Amino acid sequence: MHLNSAQAQKLSPVIWILVADGGRAQIYRYHRDKAVMPMHEPQWHSSNQEKERHELTPVPDMAFTAESRDDFQVSHDGRGSLIGGQNAAHNSCEPHLDIHDEIKQNLAVAVVAKLKQACQENAFDQLVIAASPHVLGLLRRHLPVEVTARIIAEIPKDFTRYPTDILLSHLQETLTEARVT
């Protein structure tokens, strides 16, 4: 039985890779397929070599950027409370919050909301998370069970500044260990 490429892609799981730090996040789709490469040998002995091709492509609408500190401070006071609360006594009792932590928390919540929606729509089958250790902890705290069940690997490193080809080379070992490649 021969499968066309659309049928073959349906059989292989859809793998997403989330790369995040405290300021930004991007979700990529991991593709792996086999390509037949012609070998340049003498005419009487032509052969083809099968070679695996790996690539990452950004998932549309899955790029996230944290709000800037200035934008955050416009709508919040120094304690992290919303300006214009119910009364001054209520606001003065709230603990002081670190603005950087609050911004990272907001980014993690936004990423988790999109992942939860994508999970409900069955947009992906497996998930790899590569994030700075602090952000990885924030994501774990907010991830619902249905998304957590699809995680096949976690990497506590920040890869957000790498171009996709270098990012892929860093992820290859983890993908191999997770038996994806």
pLDDT in the model for residue 4? 47
pLDDT in the model for residue 38? 59
Residues of the chain with pLDDT under 50: 1-9, 74, 80, 90, 93
Q: What is the strand order of the sheet 48-65 is part of?
A: 48-65, 24-38, 15-20, 126-131, 151-155
Would strands 48-65 and 126-131 be described as parallel, antiparallel, or unpaired?
unpaired
For residue 117 the two structure tokens come to 């929606």
pLDDT in the model for residue 5? 46
* Residue-range domains of the chain with CATH: 13-38+53-68+98-177 (3.30.420.60)
Q: Are 24 and 66 in contact (CB under 8 A)?
A: yes
Q: Whole-angstrom Cα distance, residue 137 to residue 103? A: 14
Q: Can you give the pTM of this predicted structure? A: 0.73
Place of tokens 């012609």: 38
Q: Whole-angstrom Cα distance, residue 66 to residue 62? A: 13
Q: Whole-angstrom Cα distance, residue 179 to residue 133? A: 23
The DSSP line for 14-44 is PEEEEEE-SSEEEEEEEEEEEEEEE----GG
State pLDDT tens for residues 118-165: 999 999 999 999 999 999 999 999 999 999 999 999 999 999 999 998
